[in-house]
Amino acid sequence: MPITTDDLQELRDKLGERFVTDQRAIEPYGKDMSWMLPEGEPLGAVFADRTEDVSIALAWANAHKVPVSVRTGGSGLAGGAVSYPGGLIIALHNMNRILEIDHENGIAVVEPGIINAQLNKELAKEGFFFAPDPASASMCSVGGNIATNAGGLRAVCHGVTINWVRALEVVLADGRVIHVGSKTIKNVSSLNLKELFIGSEGTLGVITQAVIRIEPLNQYDNYTFFACFDSAEDAGYATVMLRACEPRPVSLELIDALGVELVNKRNPDLQIPQPGAALLLGQAEGENAKRVVEEYAQVCREYGATAVQFEEGTRLFQVRRDAYPALSANGMQVIGDVSVPISRLAEAIHGIEEISVKRGRKVSILAHAGDGNIHPIVECGEGTEEAAEAESLLDEVCRMAIGMEGVVSGEHGIGHLKHAEIDHLLSPDTRSVQRAIKQALDPNNILTPGRKI
């Protein structure tokens, strides 16, 4: 049944100005940071201010079988939040309050629209931090972090978002509101529904509140090291050894030779020596950070690093932060996200290089090396045709990763752009289990349809 003016009025009556149909006003909320564009105009957007708004919107969408896209920070890279033609956008950016910071229990209660970096700024004032820290921390939301089970630079030591969420308030497809998880540290009183909603990318429900774990801020200085390698194998072996160090590095990143070259051009003050193959960059924190980082440096030397340097603070880490902007500025814009067992990191890097040569298209590699999570970043001209070409290269990278017992997304999610990849990764039976759960929770298939699952 097509949606009538009366149907829209019904939603307007309930939500007032929070239901927006002016296409210019809602257009930014129908896109994310990927190259994917909406295929047609959505009906409108709900700029939710509270859980009840989301509940009203979903009950309406469910009754009218209108597809829903959910958007918080809009920093997604897989097209997961892109609006549907004739669909409804649920935008959560106004639900961005920190409702409680509970020192004794080490938890905070937050709304999904709070920006990751803003949350950490507020937590730091009270001596705490929330570990998930995607490179997009300044614009991504905690709700989006939860919906994609985001990782980031500190994941190697502190784990990913699922390790930092205690409980969720979720609005189901039909508008009912449930609470999953608990404020307690341990809980086996129900099925792991909280874990099921985490990383489900808006396909099973809309997260409207979260109880997150927070931890006391490290009171010691950080130390940062870098090490240049002339071979990817050496960098790979060093990564495996560094990961096994006690304590584990807080961050352990890899930037390939092309990436370092572009970062040095963009920011010559950093004066990073040009590696033949790759730069490893890492951090230690805590009481013995200086001695620990010296040990990391020594491991790198033993595994063939040519230039090794370390210093107090996090200045060197600017290299990692500059890398993606430097690559983007040079026309390398389409980003992949495969993950492999870390023992196969070097092999994966070589494989990506081979694919790049074969296709005659530049690919640079940034990796959360300590996690085996690799972002190949592909050269790409203007236009969706060029982007689709780049995606096709990444499709080949995905199949290579699967051949190494790897997976097609480590932290960005599947969304729309990686959806074809899961055909190669998941068996028909595993897919059928996903679909059965989707059908059970969203029988009208209104929540982010056709993506993720």
Q: Kindly state the smallest distance separating residue 198's Cβ from a second copy, in Å.
A: 6
Q: Environment class of residue 122 by beta-carbon count within 10 Å: exposed (0-12), middle (13-18) or buried (19+)?
A: middle
Q: By CB under 8 A, is residue 184 in contact with a second copy? A: yes
Helix 318-329 to helix 257-266 angle, to the nearest 10 degrees? Answer: 90
Does residue 74 bind a second copy (CB under 8 A)? no
- The whole-angstrom separation of Cα 292 and Cα 298 is 10
DSSP state of 375: E
Interaction between residue 45 and a second copy (CB under 8 A): no
Torsion of CA 47, 48, 49, 51, to 10 degrees: 180
- Listed ranges 3-11, 133-141, 152-160, 351-359: which one lies at the site for a second copy (CB under 8 A): 152-160
- Closer CB to a second copy, residue 47 or residue 128? 128
User: Which residue of 193, 270, 307, 420 would you call a contact of a second copy, by CB under 8 A?
Assistant: 193
Alpha carbon distance 172, 445 (integer Å): 12
Residue pair 296/245 in contact (Cβ under 8 Å)? The answer is yes
Binding piece for a second copy, criterion CB under 8 A, among 15-23, 133-141, 185-193, 301-309: 185-193
Q: Torsion over CA of 109, 434, 63 and 147, rounded to 10 degrees?
A: 30
Q: Counting contacts by CB under 8 A, is residue 244 touching a second copy?
A: yes
Q: Which of 65, 183, 315, 358 binds a second copy (CB under 8 A)?
A: 183
Chain-centre distance of CA 361, in angstroms? 25
Stretch that binds a second copy, among 264-272, 317-325, 326-334, 430-438 (CB under 8 A): 430-438
When asked if residue 421 is in the footprint of a second copy (CB under 8 A), the reply is yes
- Which amino acid is located at 95 in the chain? M
Of 214-243, which residues contact a second copy (CB under 8 A)?
216, 218-219, 240, 243
**Minimum separation from the CB atom of position 75 to a second copy (A):** 15
Stretches 18-26, 83-91, 380-388, 421-429: which one binds a second copy (CB under 8 A)?
Answer: 421-429
Nearest distance in Å: CB 385, a second copy: 26
If binding is defined by CB under 8 A, does position 269 make contact with a second copy? no
Task: Identify which of residues 150 and 260 has a Cβ nearer to a second copy in the complex.
Answer: 150
The least distance separating a second copy from the CB of residue 406, rounded to whole angstroms, comes to: 6
Q: Which of 295, 296, 274 is nearest to 229 (CA)?
A: 274
Sheet holding 206-213, edge to edge: 98-102, 107-110, 206-213, 165-171, 177-181
The answer to whether 373 contacts a second copy (rule: CB under 8 A) is yes
**Site residues (CB under 8 A) for a second copy, limited to 314-353:** 339-343
Conformation bin of residue 129: beta by default, left when phi > 0, alpha when psi is -120 to 50: beta
Count of residues near a second copy by CB under 8 A: 85
- Which of 25, 37, 99, 178 is close enough to bind a second copy by CB under 8 A? 178
Q: Is 430 in the site for a second copy (CB under 8 A)?
A: yes
Stretch that binds a second copy, among 16-24, 199-207, 315-323, 385-393 (CB under 8 A): 199-207
386/421 with CB nearer a second copy: 421
- DSSP letters for 266-325: H-GGG-----SSEEEEEEEESTTHHHHHHHHHHHHHHTT-S-EEEEESSGGGHHHHHHHH
What's the CA gap between 395 and 417, in Å, rounded?
A: 10
Q: Which is nearer to a second copy, 137 or 272 (CB)?
A: 137
Our CB check for a second copy shows the closer of 267 and 434 to be 434
281 near a second copy, rule: CB under 8 A: no
Site for a second copy in 86-105 (CB under 8 A): 102, 104-105
Q: How far is the CB of 80 from a second copy (least distance, A)?
A: 11
- The residue range among 34-42, 86-94, 285-293, 306-314 that interacts with a second copy, by the rule CB under 8 A, is 285-293
Of residues 165, 414, 446, 447, which one binds a second copy by CB under 8 A? 414
CB 411 within 8 A of CB 337: yes
> Quick one: how far is CA 327 from the chain centroid?
19
- Edge to edge, what strands does the sheet with 88-91 contain? 19-20, 44-47, 88-91, 68-71
Does position 154 interact with a second copy (CB under 8 A)? The reply is: no
Segment lying near a second copy (by CB under 8 A), choices 91-99, 320-328, 352-360, 367-375: 367-375
SS3 79: coil
What separation in angstroms does the CA of 84 have from each of 27, 29, 450?
12, 11, 11
